Structure 1
Amino acid sequence: MIDIILFQPKCGVWDIMGARVPIGLLSIGAVPCNKGYKVVLIDQRIDFDWQSKIKKYINQGAKIVCLTTMVGEQILHMMEVSKFIKSIDSNILTILGGSWPQTQPEMCMQDKNIDVVCYGEGDYLLTELMAYCEGKKKISDVLGIIHRTKEGTIKRTAPRQPVQNLDELPKIPYRLVNLRDYTAVGFRQGKPSISVVTSRGCQFRCTFCSMVPLYGQSWRGYSVDRLMEDIAELESKYGIKDFFFNDDLITGDFKRFTEFLEALAKSGRDYNWGTPGMRGDAVLRLTKDEKAMDNLIKSGCKNLDIGVESGSPRILKLIKKDTTVDVIRRVNQKMSKYPVIMKYNFMGGFPTETEGEFFDTMRLRRILQEENEYAIAPIYFFTPVPETQIFTLAIENGFQPPTKLQEWADFNYDTWYKKYPSWLTKRMIHLIDNAVFLSYFSNKKMSYKYPNPLLNILFKLYYPLAKLRNDNDYYGFMFEKSLAEFIVKIDGKFNLFNRIQKKFFFKKSESLNTYS
């Protein structure tokens, strides 16, 4: 018998980067698994026969299907799956969670095949909804949801309070997936790696970030003891020693972070790790502590991401980044002494940003890479997200956002500016779009971000041309972008990249096949 189906829809262009373990779904599956419910997980990115699996599990008695989505193409895939589920059994309770429902829960109910939307943390949600399915609880008593009544009306229940002590949560049920099908980073090509979340939230106030309205500038983290226990288990059970600590802010408690570094360093386990959740001021603070820096290196740190966002002081103030260009340059100069890839993330296309201010960004990223051989500096196109402070500014400057769920499915980070009216001129779109594309491929150190074997090969083939263009600021006649768009379309139809990853990536590590 099956009780709950967790379903991970395809993401779209992000899938080409390599499928990471669906940690969000696995996290909300932890409590029901611990309570004895039979839970299964289907991942559309790698389960190419997902329809037959859904049919099989529904026939085996599944009462709930829980899906997830972020903004963009994943909404389209989610709606395809929810429609398919209801075509098999209209009585199945369909639940939707993820980053998009967190900010737009009512809009998500426009999908008539969704019964419940989770607008808070979902750790205890599925067990309560199973109690509802079993007639033991009223759905109106389940906190943090929007639900559709039998009469078709939409009701919102009272908010659910966030889990304050993350250590109280059961262990992630990795057994629900085959971890050999996933990867996270390419520190050691051909070796297994995994994304791990060590904390939730962020205390800062960046106006473009959806975490601010979601968590209200709050932060909570697992204890160091719990983290080390979980990491040791991933190594002993699954042979994994390379980790991507996928936090929004891993230094939310700086003391916890330094203690974590010390524990990793003292373990002597030859771990490798990176994280996107760093700030320049935190790294600067770290460099002033000789013991902490020694532990950073001994712990196996291979990469730190810092969100710089812009080289323009005015834009940094506009987005309330609470940092300066000087801080970032000092961080970079101090970290140049260490063999740690410093990934400085930038954005272009902010509301009111001028061409000159974007060139300030281009100059800063070039300086950082010249001053530190381990520095990389990709650029991303700014994307206006509902409920963020800057979203209002975007609308004031001419942005006309989608109004329906189906329209937001066509709102992708790499194409929205070509489809929706905004403040951006054609010249700015052309400039930023080409600079963004080249930034992904013009630094050889970026290769660790492409663990998918096919994408890694394509990166190595294109790198010389991308570097030549980048070094000479030549953005004209970029025929290769059309080729990349064609590859993305082909992958969208045939799931080529993840098929290759699943078939070939872990061949060398089959002797570690203790996955269960």
Structure 2
Amino acid sequence: MLPLTDYKNRLSGIPFTNLITSRGCPFNCYFCSSSKFGGLKWRARSAKSIVNEIEHLYYTYGYRAFAFMDDNFTLSPKRIFEFADELERRGLNDIHWWCFSRVDILVRNEKMIKRMAEAGAFMVFLGLESTNEVVLDSYNKHIENKQQQQAIALLRKYGIRIHGSYIIGDVRETEEMVLQTINWAKSVNAQTSQFSILTPYPGTALFEYIKKENRFLHHNWELYDALHPVIKLDNLTPKQISKLLIKAYQKVYLSRAHILNFSSNRVNGNKMPEKPVGEKIKTVIKAIQSLIIFRRQIINDNHAATLQK
């Protein structure tokens, strides 16, 4: 698996790699397996340790962009300020990075967001999940729609892009509720959006509930990928929820606003390397083709799962 240079990924032409700087998540969302793997106690590396690794990757391998894969990189605002100060002290002020965060943490710490932007943050992954507060409560998210809107506004205020993650297919969710979330995701118009079907992973509270209520459709683990329906819902059939997943991607990614948003590559007031217009058009065409293939694959997989029951 070595040397590392054989596995160099690029972000808008810039070499980037992944880092993990902490383990554990204290929030224990109903559907999430992260706290089962990493535990509820958050354990973090120091800002100096993180920047030591970045500095090594920067000068030894030429990396200029970094993805922090921690469940919540911003859990300690103090560490974020120390991290930003350490980057600045060492002259590593031309890097770009993205991370996972929570809307409630961001809303409480506007100064932290500003400092993140100054230190090269170009995107934040947000688990927005749903616009419906009943659904949010069932997921044990402990966030409100008002906080979602505030966090989105704050990130945009400081020029940080948003990756919005949404979940559809709560046990009692109706088609109308799912469509509300899809329409809201379209209005949010994040630079990238991710839609998943609620999936019970072993060890989670959701899994135990689905098991107790005998709601599993099947145990074909290959389809437990958050792209296929695997549980019985009160108001939606597997076919309906699959169609809604496809509709979500189509409605958001093929909207005029998103295509225009996609054409912008400004990060914190500084432009990433510009792609030719022709390359951008090719990317949009590939996205449409991928949606068509994705739709066909979902239909085929669901049919196969039905036959296996």
TM-score under structure 2 length normalisation: 0.78
AA matched with 1:262 = D
The Cα RMSD (Å) is 3.0
Structure 2 equivalent of residue 433 of structure 1? 246
Aligned with 1:244: secondary structure? strand
Give 2:98's match in structure 1, choosing from 264, 268, 274: 274
Q: What is the alpha-carbon distance in structure 2 between the residues aligned to residue 215 and residue 361 of structure 1?
A: 30
- Going from structure 1 to structure 2, the CA distance change for 1:413 and 1:441 (only over 3 Å counts) comes to farther
Q: Look up the match of 1:115.
A: none
One-letter amino acid matched to 1:324? E
Distance 2:38 2:290 in 1: 40
Task: Give the structure with higher Rg (CA).
Answer: 1
Shift of 1:366: 3.0
Cα distance in 1 between the residues matched to 2:205 and 2:24 = 17
User: Identity of aligned pairs, percent?
Assistant: 25
Note the C-alpha offset of 1:224: 0.8
For residues 404-449 of structure 1, what are the alpha-carbon distances to aligned partners after superposition, in whole Å with 9 as ceiling and x for unaligned?
Answer: xxx42354332x32xx56324122331223314554565345689x
SS at match of 2:14: coil
Count of aligned pairs: 277
TM-aligned CA deviation for residue 309 of structure 1: 0.6
Shift of 1:335: 2.6
Superposition pairs for residues 438-457 of structure 1, below 5 Å? 439=252, 443-444=258-259
Cα distance in 2 between the residues matched to 1:441 and 1:397: 38
Give, in whole Å, the separation in 1 of the partners of 2:240 and 2:7. Answer: 42
Q: How far has the Cα of 1:392 moved from its partner?
A: 2.9
Contact 2:84–2:116 (Cα < 8 Å) also in 1 = yes
Distance 2:281 2:61 in 1: 27
1:334–1:410 Cα change, 3 Å: closer
**412, 415, 431: which is aligned to 2:225?**
412
Query: Aligned-pair distance for 1:304?
Result: 0.7
Structure 2 match to 1:64: none
CA 1:201–1:317: 2 relative to 1, 3 Å: same
What residue is the counterpart of 2:50 in the other structure?
227
How big is each residue's C-alpha offset from its partner over 1:104-126, in whole Å with a ceiling of 9 and x where there is no partner?
xxxxxxxxxxxxxxxxxxxxxxx
**Deviations along 1:203-238, whole A, 9 cap, x unmatched?**
102000001222331111111111111100001100
CA contact (8 A) 1:379 1:439 kept: no
CA distance in 1, matches of 2:207, 2:282: 35
The one-character-per-residue Cα deviations of 1:303-360 (angstroms, maximum 9, x if unpaired) are 0111011111001000100100000111122332222102221111122211122123
Q: Which of the residues 144, 154, 166 maps onto 1:324?
A: 144
Give structure 1 stretches of 5+ with no counterpart: 1-40, 42-175, 467-478, 489-516
The alpha-carbon distance between structure 1 residues 487 and 318, as it changes in their structure 2 partners (threshold 3 A), is closer
Is 1:177 aligned with 2:177?
no
Displacement of 1:243 = 0.5
Aligned counterpart in structure 2 of residue 217 of structure 1, from 40, 65, 72: 40
Contact residue 207 and residue 320 of structure 1 kept, 8 A: yes
The 3 A distance-change label for structure 1 pair 437 and 181 is farther
Query: Contact 1:343 / 1:375 at 8 angstroms: preserved in 2?
Result: yes
Which amino acid in 1 is paired with 2:155? M
| Residue identity opposite 2:133 in structure 1 | P
Aligned pairs for 1:124-273 (under 5 A) are 176-183=2-9, 186=11, 189-269=12-92, 270-273=94-97
What's 2:285 paired with?
A: 461
Which of residues 123, 132, 144 is equivalent to 1:312?
132
Which residue in the other structure is 2:183 paired with?
Answer: 363
Encode CA deviations 1:7-36: one digit per residue, 9 max, x unaligned: xxxxxxxxxxxxxxxxxxxxxxxxxxxxxx
From 201, 210, 234, the equivalent of 1:385 is 201
Please list every run of 5 or more consecutive structure 2 residues that lacks an aligned counterpart in the other structure.
266-274, 299-309
Cα 1:397/1:266, change in 2 over 3 Å: farther
Contact 2:22 2:45 in 1 (8 A): yes
